[in-house]
Amino acid sequence: MGEIVDSLGMVQPSVSKHLRVLLEVGLVNVRRDGRRMLYRTNAEAIRPLHEWTETFERFWRHQLKRLKERAERKSEPSNDAGPDFTSRRKNDFDSNKN
Protein backbone atom coordinates (compact mmCIF):
# COMPACT_ATOMS: atom_id res chain seq x y z
CA MET A 1 0.00 0.00 0.00
CA GLY A 2 2.91 2.33 0.68
CA GLU A 3 3.84 2.26 -3.01
CA ILE A 4 0.30 3.25 -3.96
CA VAL A 5 0.30 6.08 -1.42
CA ASP A 6 3.62 7.38 -2.74
CA SER A 7 2.76 7.11 -6.43
CA LEU A 8 -0.69 8.73 -6.09
CA GLY A 9 0.34 11.36 -3.56
CA MET A 10 -2.66 10.51 -1.40
CA VAL A 11 -2.81 9.97 2.33
CA GLN A 12 -2.86 6.38 3.55
CA PRO A 13 -6.41 6.42 5.01
CA SER A 14 -7.83 7.53 1.65
CA VAL A 15 -5.97 4.80 -0.20
CA SER A 16 -7.16 2.23 2.35
CA LYS A 17 -10.76 3.34 1.89
CA HIS A 18 -10.56 3.09 -1.90
CA LEU A 19 -8.86 -0.31 -1.76
CA ARG A 20 -11.51 -1.56 0.67
CA VAL A 21 -14.26 -0.54 -1.77
CA LEU A 22 -12.45 -2.21 -4.68
CA LEU A 23 -12.05 -5.34 -2.55
CA GLU A 24 -15.74 -5.36 -1.58
CA VAL A 25 -16.86 -5.23 -5.21
CA GLY A 26 -14.31 -7.87 -6.23
CA LEU A 27 -12.08 -5.74 -8.47
CA VAL A 28 -8.97 -6.50 -6.38
CA ASN A 29 -7.74 -9.42 -4.31
CA VAL A 30 -5.62 -9.06 -1.20
CA ARG A 31 -3.22 -11.28 0.70
CA ARG A 32 -1.25 -10.64 3.84
CA ASP A 33 2.54 -10.90 3.80
CA GLY A 34 3.66 -10.34 7.37
CA ARG A 35 2.50 -6.85 8.27
CA ARG A 36 1.96 -5.85 4.65
CA MET A 37 -1.23 -6.19 2.64
CA LEU A 38 -0.57 -7.01 -1.01
CA TYR A 39 -3.28 -6.04 -3.47
CA ARG A 40 -3.66 -7.46 -6.96
CA THR A 41 -6.21 -6.57 -9.61
CA ASN A 42 -8.78 -9.21 -10.45
CA ALA A 43 -8.57 -9.28 -14.24
CA GLU A 44 -11.69 -11.39 -14.70
CA ALA A 45 -13.77 -8.97 -12.64
CA ILE A 46 -12.37 -5.98 -14.53
CA ARG A 47 -13.01 -7.48 -17.98
CA PRO A 48 -16.72 -6.43 -18.18
CA LEU A 49 -15.78 -2.89 -17.15
CA HIS A 50 -13.07 -2.82 -19.81
CA GLU A 51 -15.47 -4.13 -22.47
CA TRP A 52 -18.11 -1.56 -21.53
CA THR A 53 -15.67 1.38 -21.65
CA GLU A 54 -14.28 0.08 -24.93
CA THR A 55 -17.58 1.02 -26.59
CA PHE A 56 -16.79 4.68 -25.88
CA GLU A 57 -13.13 4.50 -26.85
CA ARG A 58 -13.61 5.92 -30.35
CA PHE A 59 -15.20 9.05 -28.88
CA TRP A 60 -12.44 9.44 -26.29
CA ARG A 61 -9.72 8.82 -28.83
CA HIS A 62 -11.11 11.59 -31.06
CA GLN A 63 -11.33 14.06 -28.14
CA LEU A 64 -7.88 13.14 -26.85
CA LYS A 65 -6.44 13.62 -30.34
CA ARG A 66 -8.00 17.09 -30.53
CA LEU A 67 -6.73 17.95 -27.05
CA LYS A 68 -3.21 16.78 -27.97
CA GLU A 69 -3.22 18.83 -31.18
CA ARG A 70 -4.39 21.94 -29.34
CA ALA A 71 -1.74 21.53 -26.64
CA GLU A 72 0.95 21.08 -29.28
CA ARG A 73 -0.18 24.22 -31.12
CA LYS A 74 -0.10 26.23 -27.91
CA SER A 75 3.38 24.99 -27.04
CA GLU A 76 4.86 25.91 -30.45
CA PRO A 77 6.50 29.33 -30.44
CA SER A 78 5.19 31.37 -33.35
CA ASN A 79 4.68 34.96 -34.37
CA ASP A 80 0.97 34.52 -34.97
CA ALA A 81 0.14 33.22 -31.50
CA GLY A 82 -2.87 35.52 -31.30
CA PRO A 83 -3.46 39.00 -29.98
CA ASP A 84 -0.83 40.55 -27.77
CA PHE A 85 -2.38 41.34 -24.40
CA THR A 86 0.62 43.08 -22.88
CA SER A 87 -0.27 45.51 -20.16
CA ARG A 88 -0.42 49.18 -21.07
CA ARG A 89 -0.03 52.30 -19.01
CA LYS A 90 -2.81 54.84 -18.60
CA ASN A 91 -0.79 57.38 -20.64
CA ASP A 92 -0.75 55.02 -23.65
CA PHE A 93 -4.54 55.24 -23.86
CA ASP A 94 -4.66 58.99 -23.22
CA SER A 95 -2.35 59.70 -26.16
CA ASN A 96 -4.82 57.98 -28.51
CA LYS A 97 -7.56 60.49 -27.68
CA ASN A 98 -5.88 63.30 -29.67
Single-letter amino acid code for the residue at 53: T
Rounded CA-CA distance 27/19 in Å is 9
Q: What is the pLDDT of residues 6-48, one digit of tens each?
A: 888 899 999 999 999 999 999 999 999 999 889 999 999 999 9
Cα angle at 40 between 39 and 46, to 5 degrees?
130
Instruction: Tell whether the model's pLDDT for residue 49 goes beyond 50.
Output: yes
Can you give the pTM of this predicted structure? 0.51
The pLDDT value recorded for residue 16 is 92
Average pLDDT over residues 79-95: 50
Single-letter amino acid code for the residue at 81: A
